[in-house]
Amino acid sequence: MESLNLAKLETEQQNQKSLKIDRVSTKEMLEMMNDEDLTVSKSVRKEIPTISKIVDLVYTSLENGGRLFYIGAGTSGRLGVLDASECPPTFGVSYELVQGLIAGGEKAILKAQEGVEDQPEEGKKDLISRNLTSKDVVIGIAASGRTPYVTGALNYAKEIGASSASISCVSKAKISEAADIALEIITGPEIITGSTRLKAGTAQKMILNMITTSVMIKLGKVYQNYMVDLQPTNKKLVSRAQEMIRDITGVDQSKAIELYEAANGHVKTAIMMELGGFSADCARKQLELNKGHISRAIRKVEKE
C-alpha cells in the first residue's frame, strides 16, 4: 500500500496566519477566512494559460460529438457533480453532455463513502459504466493531487485514447502524470489545516465554472452575454426568456411575448425571427445550419 507523506503537500501545511483562529471574535474569525479567500482568485489568474488549454481541449471534444466527464472524490467530486448538473438548465444541453462522477456514486454526494477513493479500479469502472469513448474528455479533480480513484480514471482514459486533464492544488501532483494537460493551482495552506473544502474547493469551483461557461460560449450557447439556450421551466425563467428577447431585439414587452410564443418558447428562434425577419421555421433552419450560433447565422444572412 502506498505510503502517504501528507506534510509535503501545500494543502496540508499549517497556515501561520490562523494559529489563533480558535481564540478570536467571530468578526476576526470571518476576516481571517475572507483574507485567505482573497488570495484564491489571484492563484487562479496565474494559471489562465493552462485553463485556456483545457477549455480548447473540451470544446474540440464536444464540437466533435464527445462528452465531458468530471471525476473526483469528496469535495472535488461534489464540485464536479454540481457544475455538470447546472449545465442543462443554464445552457440547454442534455444531461449526457457534461457528467460528474464521484467516488461512491450518488449517495456520496450527501454522505461520505469512506475508502472508495483509495481504489483506482473504481474510477475505471465508473467510466466504463458510462461507455467512455475516444471522443470524450475526462477531467480528474483532486485537491491533494493523489487520489487513487482519480488516477485510475485518468489512466483508463489514456488507455482508450480519450483526452484528459487534471486539476489539483499541489505541485508535482500524482494525477498530473496521468493527464494530457495538468493544472496545478497552488492555493497554499488552508485556514483550517488540511480542510480543502475551503480555499482549494473555492479555486476548483471557479475553474470548473470557467471551463464549462467558456466552452458553452464557444458552442454558441451564449449571445452577447445572455444565456439564450436556457430552459424556461418555471415562471421566473419564462419571464427571463421574454426579457432577453425584448432586450436583444429592442421590441416592447408585448411583442417579446408574441415572439416567444410563436417560437414555442425557444429564445434563439424568437431572436432570429425578429433580427432576421424570418418565420419560425426559417429561423430554426438558419440556426441549425450555423450550429446554433446566432451571431454566425446573422452574419451569414447579411452577407447573402
Q: Tens of pLDDT along 34-43?
A: 999 999 999 9
CA distance 242 to 226: 12
Q: How many domains are there within the chain?
A: 2
Instruction: Give me the amino acid identity at 282.
Output: C
Place of cell 460560449: 217
Average pLDDT score over the chain: 93
CA distance 174 to 112: 23
For 177, residues 6+ apart whose C-beta sits below 8 A from its C-beta are none
Question: The pTM is what?
Answer: 0.91
Q: Are 274 and 249 in contact (CB under 8 A)?
A: yes
Instruction: Please check whether residues 155 and 194 belong to one and the same domain.
Output: yes
* CA proximity to 168, closest of 178, 180, 158, 183: 183
Q: Does some domain include residue 245?
A: yes
Reported confidence tier of residue 239, pLDDT bands at 50, 70, 90: very high
* 258 is known as an active-site residue: no
Instruction: Please check whether residues 97 and 43 belong to one and the same domain.
Output: yes
Q: How many CB atoms lie within 10 A of CB 78?
A: 22
- Using DSSP's 3-state secondary structure scheme, residue 115 falls into coil
**pLDDT (0 to 100) of residue 114:** 72
12, 117, 122, 190: which one is catalytic? 117
Instruction: Please check whether residues 109 and 193 belong to one and the same domain.
Output: yes
Instruction: Please check whether residues 190 and 296 belong to one and the same domain.
Output: no
Reported confidence tier of residue 1, pLDDT bands at 50, 70, 90: very low
Q: Are 240 and 257 in contact (CB under 8 A)?
A: no
For 51, residues 6+ apart whose C-beta sits below 8 A from its C-beta are 44, 183, 207, 210, 211
Count Cβ atoms within 10 A of the Cβ of residue 203 and give its class: 0-12 exposed, 13-18 middle, 19 or more buried: buried
* Domain's final residue, options 218, 245, 270: 218
Instruction: Please check whether residues 199 and 248 belong to one and the same domain.
Output: no
Instruction: Please check whether residues 248 and 273 belong to one and the same domain.
Output: yes
* 86 is known as an active-site residue: yes
